[in-house]
Structure 1
C-alpha cells in the first residue's frame, strides 16, 4: 500500500521532469484486475484568441472481475461530461464542469454478480499552472475540487450521500515530433476525500488519501482531419482494495477528440437593427 511519502515522491519525480492536448483520463472503476476506457469528445474553441474552449464527451468503461484478466467482461461505467476552460493569464488556466455517471455495482465475492446500479452527479472546478521546461517539455500542475452526489437507479438514497474530493495532479508532456503533433504524457494524481454517509445516524467519515493514479499517454493528430487520437495506460492504486495486492487496476484507454476551431459569427443587417 502506498504511503503519503510515496505519493509525494512520485508526484515530485514527475514534477521535476506538463500542458497537453486534453486526453480524457479514465475514472476509477473500483476493484478489478484490468479495465478498458473509451471516449469520444468534442473540443471547441470559444474565442478568436484561443484562450477559451470547451470539451464535451461521452464515454464507457468495461472491467474484469477481481480474479480474471478479461478487461471487457463487465460493464463498468457510462459518462456524460461537459467542461469549459479559460486560460486567463500566461501559463494559468481554470475550468469548471458538470458530469453525469451511471455505474453498476457488483458483489465483493465470487461470482461477483451485479448487485445494483449507482448514479452520480458531479460538479468540479480546477486550476492549473504550466511550466515551460525548454522547447519540448512542459509541466502542468493541477488542483481539482469535486462535489459528488450519489443515488440508486431510482434516485433513492444510497449508503454514501455525497462526497467532497480533492485531486492533485502533475503531468509532464514531451513533444515527440511535429509530424502529426505527436506527444507523450506522463502523470501522477493523488486523490483525497471525505464523505457524508446515510447509514444509521448520518455522519461524516474522515478526510484522507484514497487513490493514486499513474498514467502514460501517446497522442497524435490524424493527418488531414480535425481529429486527435489518445492511447494510454493507467495504473489505479486504491487504498484498502483487493486490487492493491496485485499491483492495482491496469487500464487500457483510448479516446477520439474532434477539434472544432473558432468561427466568428457573421454580422447581418438585422443584427445592426437590433
Structure 2
C-alpha cells in the first residue's frame, strides 16, 4: 500500500511538471513575436500565476534618448490555488502605474513613480475562499537609481530601488500592515540576438528587503530579507512599428526560513512614443518596469 501511494505521488508530480511545460511551450508558440519588460508582481501563496499588461512610453523631451520620459501601464494578474496549477484560476491583482525617468548622464538614470494596486485576499486553508476583507488596496511611491553599462551586443544594468507602501482595506481603513519601507536590489543582463536588434533576451535577479509597521501591535517588524525574483524574457521590437512585444517567466522565492516558490508567466505590449514629440531610438531603451 505504501509503495502504491509513493508511485501515485510520483505520477502526480510528473503530471504537474508536464502540464507546466505544456503551458509555457504553448505560450511561446502562440506569441512568437513576444515577452515582459513589465515584470509580474508577487501574488502571495500560489503555485503558478499569470500576468498581462499594456503600457505607453512617451518622450517628454526633444533630446533623443536623454532628458525625461514617461511610462504608464495597467496590468492584471491571476493565480492558481496552492493545490492546483491553473495560472488563470482566480483573480490576483490590478495595477495602475505611472513612472517618470530621467537619464541625466550617458551611464546614469533615475526614476520617480506612483502606483495603485488592488490585490485579492484569500484564506490559507482549503477551499481557499476569499478572506475578510476580500481585498487590500495599496498606494506606492518609489524611486530608483540605475547604472547603465553596455556594448554593441550586451547591456548590464544594476539598480537600487526604494519604496514606501501604504495599505488600506476596501473602505480605506488601515490594513493589518499599516505601511512598509522596502529596498530592492536588482541586476539585469540583456543581449541582442540579431544585428538589427529586433530580438532580445533579458535576464534579471532581484532581492527584496523590508520593514513594516503593524496596525494592531503598533510596532515595527525587523528589517530583513523577504524574497528573491529571477526572470527570463524574450522581447521583439519591430523597427517599423511603435509596438514592443514581450513574453517571459519569473520564479519568486518567498521567505528566509520557510521558503516557498511561485512561478509566473507574463506577457505585455508597450506602445512606444505614440504622440511623437521626438521619435525615440529603440536601441537606447534600457528600462525594466514592475
TM > 0.5 = yes
Q: Normalized against structure 1, the TM-score is what?
A: 0.84
Cα distance change on mapping 1:110 and 1:22 into 2, 3 Å: closer
Mapped to 2, the partners of 1:130 and 1:22 lie a distance apart of 20
Deviation at 1:48, TM superposition (A): 1.7
5+ unaligned residues in a row in structure 1: which ranges?
Answer: 1-20, 265-274
CA distance in 1, matches of 2:130, 2:195: 47
**Aligned positions of 1:67-106 closer than 5 A:** 67-106=83-122
- The residue that corresponds to 2:140 in the other structure is 122
Residue of structure 2 aligned with 1:257, choices 264, 270, 287: 270
In 1, distance between residues paired with 2:48 and 2:114? Answer: 27
Say whether 1:198 aligns with 2:215.
yes
Q: CA RMSD in A?
A: 1.7
2:179 paired with 1:165: no
* 1:177 to partner: Cα distance: 1.4
| Aligned mates of 1:161, 1:28 — CA distance in 2 | 19
TM-aligned CA deviation for residue 207 of structure 1: 0.3
Which of structure 1's runs of 4+ aligned residues deviate more than 2 A? Answer: none
Cα deviations by residue, 1:60-80 (Å, 9 ceiling, x for unpaired):
000001111000001000000
Tell me how far 1:123 sits from its aligned partner. Answer: 0.3
Q: Which among 210, 217, 226 is matched to residue 233 of structure 2?
A: 217
Contact 2:225 2:256 in 1 (8 A): no
Q: Is the 8 A contact 1:31 1:241 kept in 2?
A: no
Moved more, 171-180 or 190-199: 171-180
User: Per the alignment, in what secondary structure is the counterpart of residue 174 of structure 2?
Assistant: coil
Distance (whole Å) between structure 2 residues aligned to residue 180 and residue 110 of structure 1 = 48
**SS of structure 1 residue aligned to 2:148:** strand
Q: How does 1:7-86 map to 2 (within 5 A)?
A: 23-49=37-63, 50-51=65-66, 52-86=68-102
- Matching of residues 172-191 of structure 1 within 5 Å: 172-179=189-196, 181-191=198-208
Q: Which residue of 2 aligns with 1:15?
A: none
Q: Which moved more, 1:233-242 or 1:53-62?
A: 233-242
